Amino acid sequence: MGERRRMEVQDALWLAMDRPTNLMVIDSVMWTATPIDWEHFEAVVRHRLWERYRVFRSVVVRGGDDAWYWQERDGLDLAEHLTRVVLPEPGGDFDFKLTITNT
């Protein structure tokens, strides 16, 4: 495990509000007029978020003082946290089921 930093009050509050019936998550969905270059997209996310902000490479741990901390994890792979979904032709609006697993 890497460096440990005490969690800011806002993040601790967000964590405390997270419940099975009140999920505190942030998701993104993007529609584009033309397909994007996935490798380029991943490289931009890696450079602008993953490498710049340690929190994206960290997990939550509770310290001996009962406070919450961000613990940077060695060996995390950004690719395991990005999911590309390509809708089948002909496209358009229709119902679909998305299953998300927490790793």
pLDDT single digits (tens) 55-91: 889 989 999 998 999 999 888 888 888 888 777 777 6
The tens digit of pLDDT for each residue in 2-56 reads 788 999 999 888 888 988 898 888 777 777 888 889 899 999 999 999 999 988 8
Supply the pLDDT for residue 65: 93
Q: Which of 50, 60, 54 is nearest to 80 (CA)?
A: 50
CA distances from 49 to 41, 57, 87 (A): 12, 10, 26
Tokens for 83, please give them: 């999911």
| Pairing of β 4-6 and β 68-72 | antiparallel
Q: Which of 51, 54, 58, 64 is nearest to 15 (CA)?
A: 58
